[in-house]
C-alpha cells in the first residue's frame, strides 16, 4: 500500500470484534432515517454568483393506503432518487413510485384495484406475483398488503 | 498473492467462487440480527449476509447528513475505494473458508457481453447452470437456485423493505434480466470513461463530471443508468435494492468495476484521487486520508486503497 498499510484480516475474531465496536447509531442506519409518518422534506442548496440558494421540497407519498416514507432525495439536476433502489434516478416522483411497486411486490401485495386498466407493463414470466414460489417471510415488522 | 480472473475463462475461479459463496452463506460466527439493529426475534446472521448488511448500512450514512446525495459508499468520490475495501475484506473471508490464501474473486467483463445483441445477453455463459444460474422469481437454475426442500439451498435472509429498512426474510434469490434496462454497457462506454482527465469533480455527487461518476453510472445523464448502475439494473430483482450483495453476481460486477479503475490507474497520465485532505469538512468521509465507513474491520482510507498490489492483481487490464 502507498502509505500506512491497512489492518485487514479475514479472521472471524476480527470481524466479530469490529461489529461490536460499531454499534453506535446502527439501529437508525439499518432501519432508515424516516418512517415517522410525516412528509419527507428535501433541502437543496447551491451557490450562484455569491448568492446562497436553498430550495425546500416536501413530498407526501402513498400507494393505496401505504405511506411511502423511506429516504428520498433530489439532486440539483432535479433527478429524484430513493434509498431503497440506489442505482436509479427518475425524472419524476411518480416514475419512482412505479418502480418501487415493481421492485417491492411483497410490500404492495401484488395488483391494486383496476390493475388491468392501468399503465403497468407486465414483467417477465413469474415476475408479477410477488414471489409466490417463495416461503413466507419469517419477520414480523415488514409492511404487508394494504 | 491472489490473481483475479475472468469468470468466463477460468473454470477454477468460477467453481471456487461458487463453493466459497456457499460456505460463507452457511457460516454463522455469532452475530445476530439484533447486533445489526434489526427489530424482532434475534436470528443468527451468516458471514455472507453480514456483508449485505454492511453495504446497506454504509449507504444509509449520508456524508454529510445535511444533504441527501452522497453517502459513505456511493454517489461520491469514495465509491471506488470503498468497494475495493469491501472486496478485499470479502476476498479474505473466501481465502479463509476455502483454505486458499491465493484465491482471487473473479470478475465478469460485462462490457464484452454488452457487445452482443441485446436479445442474446441473457444467454451469456455467466448465467449458465454451472456459473451464476439464470433469472426468475425465484431463480431456479444453477448453484444459487431456490430448492426449498434442500436445507442448504441458497436463501435470501436479509433484504430491505420499501421504506429502506433492513429486515429478515426467507425466500429465494430474484433476478429479472433486461426488465428495467434493455442492454448491458458496451466497451465504448468503458473506453469513454478512461479518456476523462479527472478522477472526480465538484460538486462531488451524481451530477459531477469525471471518471468516478461515469463508471458509477450517473453520467452522462441522458444515458443513465450507465456502466456499474446499468449492470445492477439490467440484472434486476435482488440487484436493485441496497441489499444487492445478496446476489453473488454483485461481486462479479464490482470486481470488474474495480478492474476498470485499476486499468485507469496504470495509465501514464492517470488522474489522481480527489478530493485531497484540504477539501472542506462537508466532504468528510471522501477526502484522501479520511476513514471510510467500516463495520466488519478496522477502517481504512481512500489513500490506503489506491494501490492494492499487496492483496491482488488482475489477469488482464484490457477493459475496452
Contact B27, B47 (CB under 8 A): yes
Mean pLDDT check: name the lowest of A43-47, A80-84, B11-15, B292-296.
A43-47
Q: Which of the 8 DSSP states describes residue B55?
A: H
What are the residues facing A56 on neighbouring strands?
A: A43
Shortest CA distance from A121: residue in chain B: B179
B275 prior amide bond cis, ω within 30 = yes
Q: What pLDDT was estimated at residue A109? A: 81
Question: Helix B79-98 to helix B249-265 angle, to the nearest 10 degrees?
Answer: 120
pLDDT-based confidence at residue A107 (cuts at 50, 70, 90): very high
In a domain, residue B51? The reply is: yes
Q: Which of A23, A31, A71, A129 to mutate to test the interface with B (most CBs of B within 10 A)?
A: A31
Assigned C-alpha cell, B24: 460463507
Shortest CA distance from A139: residue in chain B: B168
Interface membership of A56 toward B (CB under 8 Å): no
- What's the distance, CA B69 to chain centroid? 19
Is residue B224 scored above 50 in pLDDT? Answer: yes
Contact B254, B86 (CB under 8 A): yes
Gap between the Cα atoms of B72 and B292, Å rounded? 7
| Mean pLDDT score of chain B | 96
Is residue B163 scored above 80 in pLDDT? Answer: yes
Report residue B104: phi and psi, to 5°.
-120, 140
B162 prior amide bond cis, ω within 30 = no
Q: What pLDDT was estimated at residue A131? A: 33
Q: What pLDDT was estimated at residue A37? A: 64
Contacts for A12 with CB less than 8 Å, ≥ 6 apart: B29, B47, B96
Q: How far is A45 from chain B (nearest CA, A)?
A: 9
In a domain, residue B293? The reply is: yes
| Tens of pLDDT, residues B265-279 | 999 999 999 999 999
Q: Which of the 8 DSSP states describes residue B125?
A: G
Assigned C-alpha cell, A44: 437543496
In a domain, residue B183? The reply is: yes
Alpha helices in chain B (DSSP H): 11-26, 47-59, 79-98, 110-114, 187-194, 211-216, 227-235, 249-265
Residue, of B123 and B39, whose pLDDT is higher: B123
Shortest CA distance from B100: residue in chain A: A10
CB atoms within 10 A of CB A43: 12
Q: What pLDDT was estimated at residue A23? A: 85
How long a stretch of residues is chain A? 146
| Percentage above 90 pLDDT, chain B | 96
The pLDDT of B15-28, averaged and rounded, is 98
The pLDDT of A87-109, averaged and rounded, is 93
Please tell me the pTM assigned to this model.
0.91
Angle at A96 between CA A92 and CA A97, to 5 degrees: 120
Contact B139, B156 (CB under 8 A): no
Mean pLDDT check: name the lowest of A39-48, A97-106, B229-238.
A39-48
Smallest Cα–Cα separation from B50: which of B71, B23, B73, B31? B31
Q: What pLDDT was estimated at residue A2? A: 44
In a domain, residue B320? The reply is: no
Contacts for A144 with CB less than 8 Å, ≥ 6 apart: A106, A107, A109
Q: What pLDDT was estimated at residue B101? A: 97
Is residue A145 scored above 80 in pLDDT? Answer: no
Is residue A102 scored above 50 in pLDDT? Answer: yes
Gap between the Cα atoms of B108 and B308, Å rounded? 19
Contacts for B168 with CB less than 8 Å, ≥ 6 apart: A137, A138, A139, B33, B38, B40, B43, B157, B158
ipTM given for this complex: 0.88
Contact A100, A84 (CB under 8 A): yes
Gap between the Cα atoms of B221 and A22, Å rounded? 36
Residue, of A4 and B218, whose pLDDT is higher: B218
Which of B57, B171, B298 is opposite residue A29, by nearest beta carbon? B57
Report residue B9: phi and psi, to 5°.
-120, -5
Smallest Cα–Cα separation from A24: which of B167, B35, B284? B35
The pLDDT of A44-56, averaged and rounded, is 92
Task: Find the domain containing B70 and state its range.
Answer: 2-314
Q: Which residue is it, cell 432518487?
A: A81
Q: What pLDDT was estimated at residue B68? A: 79
Shortest CA distance from A24: residue in chain B: B37
Is residue A137 scored above 50 in pLDDT? Answer: no
Smallest Cα–Cα separation from A90: which of B236, B53, B224? B224
| Tens of pLDDT, residues A54-80 | 999 999 999 998 999 998 988 888 899
Q: What pLDDT was estimated at residue A132? A: 33
Q: What pLDDT was estimated at residue A120? A: 44
pLDDT-based confidence at residue A139 (cuts at 50, 70, 90): very low
Question: How many beta-carbon pairs below 8 A join chains A and B?
Answer: 244
In a domain, residue B122? The reply is: yes
DSSP string over B214-231: HHHT--SGGG-S-HHHHH
CB atoms within 10 A of CB A120: 14
| Percentage above 70 pLDDT, chain B | 100
Question: Helix B249-265 to helix B227-235 angle, to the nearest 10 degrees?
Answer: 170
- Residue B223's Cβ-side half-sphere holds a number of Cα atoms within 13 Å equal to 17
pLDDT-based confidence at residue A36 (cuts at 50, 70, 90): low
Q: How many domains are contained in chain B?
A: 1
| Tens of pLDDT, residues B109-121 | 999 999 999 999 9
Smallest Cα–Cα separation from B95: which of B14, B5, B24, B12? B24
pLDDT-based confidence at residue B5 (cuts at 50, 70, 90): very high
Domain ranges of chain A: 12-117
A40 prior amide bond cis, ω within 30 = no
Report residue A61: phi and psi, to 5°.
-120, 135
CATH number for the domain including B234? 1.10.1280.10
Is residue A138 scored above 50 in pLDDT? Answer: no
3-state secondary structure of A44: strand
Q: Which residues of B touch A136 (CB under 8 A)?
A: 170
Pairing of strands A72-74, A80-82: antiparallel
In a domain, residue B31? The reply is: yes
Q: What pLDDT was estimated at residue A4? A: 72
Alpha helices in A1-145 (DSSP H): 12-21, 26-30, 93-103, 105-108
Please identify among residues 62-81 of chain A the ones whose CB lies closer than 8 Å to any CB of chain B.
Answer: 66, 68-77, 79, 81
How long a stretch of residues is chain B? 320
Q: What pLDDT was estimated at residue A38? A: 76
Contact B294, B304 (CB under 8 A): no
In a domain, residue B159? The reply is: yes
Q: What pLDDT was estimated at residue A45? A: 86
What are the residues facing B62 on neighbouring strands?
A: B71
Q: How far is A19 from chain B (nearest CA, A)?
A: 5
Amino acid at each position: 500500500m502507498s502509505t500506512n498499510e491497512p489492518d485487514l484480516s479475514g479472521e472471524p475474531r476480527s470481524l466479530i470484534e469490529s461489529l461490536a465496536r460499531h454499534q453506535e447509531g446502527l439501529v437508525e442506519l439499518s432501519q432508515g432515517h424516516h418512517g415517522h409518518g410525516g412528509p419527507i422534506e428535501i433541502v437543496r442548496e447551491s451557490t450562484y454568483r455569491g448568492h446562497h440558494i436553498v430550495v425546500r421540497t416536501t413530498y407526501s407519498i402513498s400507494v393505496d393506503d401505504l405511506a411511502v416514507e423511506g429516504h428520498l432525495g433530489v439532486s440539483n439536476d432535479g433527478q429524484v432518487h430513493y434509498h431503497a433502489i440506489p442505482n436509479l434516478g427518475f425524472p419524476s416522483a411518480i416514475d419512482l413510485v412505479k418502480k418501487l411497486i415493481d421492485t417491492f411486490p411483497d410490500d404492495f401485495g401484488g395488483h391494486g384495484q383496476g390493475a388491468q386498466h392501468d399503465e403497468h407493463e407486465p414483467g417477465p414470466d413469474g415476475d408479477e406475483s410477488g414471489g409466490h414460489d417463495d416461503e413466507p417471510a419469517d419477520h414480523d415488522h415488514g409492511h404487508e398488503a394494504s | 498473492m491472489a490473481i483475479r480472473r475472468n469468470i468466463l475463462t477460468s473454470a477454477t475461479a468460477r467453481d471456487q467462487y461458487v463453493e466459497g459463496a456457499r460456505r460463507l452463506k452457511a457460516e454463522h460466527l455469532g452475530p445476530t440480527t439484533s447486533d445489526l439493529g434489526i427489530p424482532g426475534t434475534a436470528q443468527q446472521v451468516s458471514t455472507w449476509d453480514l456483508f449485505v448488511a454492511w453495504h446497506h448500512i454504509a449507504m444509509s450514512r449520508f456524508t454529510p447528513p445535511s444533504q441527501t446525495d452522497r453517502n459513505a459508499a456511493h454517489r461520491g468520490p469514495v465509491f471506488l475505494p470503498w468497494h475495493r475495501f469491501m472486496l478485499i475484506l470479502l476476498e479474505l473471508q473466501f481465502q479463509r473458508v476455502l483454505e486458499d490464501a491465493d484465491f482471487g474473486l473473479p470478475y465478469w467483463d460485462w462490457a464484452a457481453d454488452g457487445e452482443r445483441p441485446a436479445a442474446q445477453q441473457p444467454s451469456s455463459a455467466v448465467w449458465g447452470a454451472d456459473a451464476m444460474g439464470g433469472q426468475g422469481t425465484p431463480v431456479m437454475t444453477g448453484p444459487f437456485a431456490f430448492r426449498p426442500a434442500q436445507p442448504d439451498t441458497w436463501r435470501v435472509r436479509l433484504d430491505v423493505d420499501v421504506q429502506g429498512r433492513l429486515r429478515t426474510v426467507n425466500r429465494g434469490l430474484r433476478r429479472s434480466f433486461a426488465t428495467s434496462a434493455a442492454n448491458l454497457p458496451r466497451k465504448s462506454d468503458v473506453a469513454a470513461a478512461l479518456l476523462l482527465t479527472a478522477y472526480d469533480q465538484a460538486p462531488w455527487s451524481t451530477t459531477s463530471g469525471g471518471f468516478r461518476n461515469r463508471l458509477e453510472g450517473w453520467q452522462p445523464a441522458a444515458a443513465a443508468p450507465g456502466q456499474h448502475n446499468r449492470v445492477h439494473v439490467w440484472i434486476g430483482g435482488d440487484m436493485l435494492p441496497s441489499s444487492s450483495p445478496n446476489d453473488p453476481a454483485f461481486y462479479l460486477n464490482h470486481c470488474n468495476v474495480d478492474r476498470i479503475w485499476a486499468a485507469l490507474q496504470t495509465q501514464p497520465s492517470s488522474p489522481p484521487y480527489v478530493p485531497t485532505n484540504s477539501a472542506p469538512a462537508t466532504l468528510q468521509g471522501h477526502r484522501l486520508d479520511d476513514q471510510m465507513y467500516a463495520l466488519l474491520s478496522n477502517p481504512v482510507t481512500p489513500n490506503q486503497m489506491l494501490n492494492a498490489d499487496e492483496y491482488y492483481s488482475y489477469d488482464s487490464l484490457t477493459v475496452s
